[in-house]
Chains A and B, each alone.
Chain A
């Protein structure tokens, strides 16, 4: 059947809500033991895809195989193999952290002694033992997130779906959660991670799919994607104003350079040859601009993402911060 080594195999997945197409012709696979990233801006279709894979939404078209089990018609068939961490912490606020974990273990049929042992073990490893007997409703955002992840893995699932695991939490908690995710993957858990944090995807994932407006525009290994940045030279300039018009001037004076505006006061110059900063600064100053900063940038996955999707990565972050869910990477 060709599902060997593929824990998740998705083909031609489509989903619309009324006239709005959420996901269209999505095809990808996740191999056993892999940490696969789904990277895209808000509304790209990441959560809808996860919902379809986990049985919380019904696809309009396409096939889903989880561990070789056809879940297209019977989404419940493989739920015992999955752990799901949703984009919002959705445990029971009136139960304590310990009770929440025990309850989630029971949802997967774990016997009382086993789920109690596992709950204690997870509370310990997630650094939540002190808060075990406090109600979940009183937890901080970071603690809620950690407990939600713990609840997702209480039954030791071989496949884990993580939807924006570090969104909206402080940097220290996000860092800790990323370490936990890496640890789970090292221990053999196959993970599908959605994120809008490019740095997070770059650090954690082996392969990444870029998803934009419901379509996967590129799937590749991080190593191959990063290979595209080899030999690229990038310099960012901070200017007093009108970065856009300065870009036009630079393109005209130096046709071999690529110039894009990052914000209204930051522009980025890229080239296959080393960028000479001096002539560029002089050119901008000749046009009455004050250059406050010029720094060489190490080409990153962000550059590949911007190149492939045409979406400015910082806009993704700003968009998320506008909705009050900033933080993370």
Chain B
């Protein structure tokens, strides 16, 4: 049996029915844009400071784009029992869940490049290290998507998925060094920052866009990859334990 036919069909169906729907696009993109605009106005800085805000805009676009859609759609399909159709497909759970998350990963990557594209018109991005930024964006998208998957398989109701997503997302925004450097956080909060995947993603983005990384790129990329593997493994374990009772 050609498992790639199954893989592409799941990916294509999800892209069509979920990710390319206007409400999802607006939620994934508008929310971070508004968020950044708020900081922009509050700080009173000019356009020359855009590069300092761009890493945050990219990271938030990915985080909100991936987690909000994936966690809700998987919970929705589980609740409506259409997810059972996927579980009955003769492909491994790993391939199935990769297919199910691939749409969100692509969505996250596309979301990341929208603020960069906008930024290119407003500020000089010639110093951006694309060779570092591109893998970072992909790994942030994968880790955020797998966080969304982890959330989806931990809850039963759609509204729980939303609430649980915010439980992770909002503390992460403040603790990962997006808007406040980690060194400025209270000492007791700093260790928490280093157990968040977005901390490493943000650090790479700060480095790639304005040369201000505090952690070596290799270490950050490895940490992100480790978070991806751990979140995917934990999600699969939860599916086996909770959904295939």
A, B: real partners: yes
Q: Which of A95, A107, A108 contacts B17 (CB 8 A)?
A: A95
Contact B81 A55 (CB under 8 A): no
Number of interface residues of A (CB under 8 A): 29
Q: How far is the CB of A273 from chain B (nearest CB, A)?
A: 52
Contact B82 A106 (CB under 8 A): no
The segment from B87-95, B168-176, B224-232 found at the interface with A is B87-95
User: Nearest residue in A to B21 (C-beta to C-beta)?
Assistant: A94
Give the complex CA separation of A58 and B240 in angstroms: 9
Check if A76 is an interface residue, CB within 8 A of chain B.
Answer: yes
In the complex, chain B residues whose CB is within 8 Å of the CB of A62: none
**CB proximity to B under 8 Å, residues A51-99:** 54-58, 75-76, 79-80, 82, 84, 86, 88, 90-95
Q: How far is the CB of A117 from chain B (nearest CB, A)?
A: 15
> Inter-chain contact count A-B, CB under 8 Å?
70
Q: Using A56-B244, A90-B80, A92-B17 as known contacts, say yes or no to A109 and B85 having CB atoms under 8 A apart.
A: no
Q: Using A58-B245, A80-B1 as known contacts, say yes or no to A107 and B82 having CB atoms under 8 A apart.
A: no
Task: Write the A308-319 contact mask toward B (1 if CB under 8 angstroms, else 0).
Answer: 000000000000
Interface size class of B (residues with CB under 8 A): 20 to 34
In the complex, chain B residues whose CB is within 8 Å of the CB of A54: 88
Check if B45 is an interface residue, CB within 8 A of chain A.
Answer: no
Check if A128 is an interface residue, CB within 8 A of chain B.
Answer: no
In the complex, chain B residues whose CB is within 8 Å of the CB of A82: 88
Check if A275 is an interface residue, CB within 8 A of chain B.
Answer: no
Contact A55 B82 (CB under 8 A): no
Q: Which of A55, A90, A109 contacts B5 (CB 8 A)?
A: A109
Give the complex CA separation of A80 and B8 in angstroms: 18
Most A Cβ at <10 Å: residue of B82, B88, B89, B245? B88
Give the complex CA separation of A56 and B93 in angstroms: 12
**CB proximity to A under 8 Å, residues B69-117:** 80-82, 84-93
Contact B81 A86 (CB under 8 A): yes
Give the complex CA separation of A54 and B85 in angstroms: 11
Check if B13 is an interface residue, CB within 8 A of chain A.
Answer: yes
Give the complex CA separation of A80 and B88 in angstroms: 9
Contact B81 A88 (CB under 8 A): yes
Give the interface of B toward A (CB within 8 A): 1-3, 5-6, 8-10, 13, 17, 80-82, 84-93, 244-245
Q: A80-B1, A103-B13, A109-B2 are in contact. List 20 more A-B contacts (CB 8 A).
A: A54-B88, A55-B88, A56-B84, A57-B244, A57-B245, A58-B245, A76-B92, A79-B88, A90-B80, A90-B82, A90-B84, A90-B85, A92-B17, A92-B82, A95-B17, A106-B5, A106-B8, A107-B9, A109-B3, A111-B2
* 5 A-B pairs (CB sep. < 8 Å): A76-B91, A80-B90, A94-B17, A95-B13, A109-B5
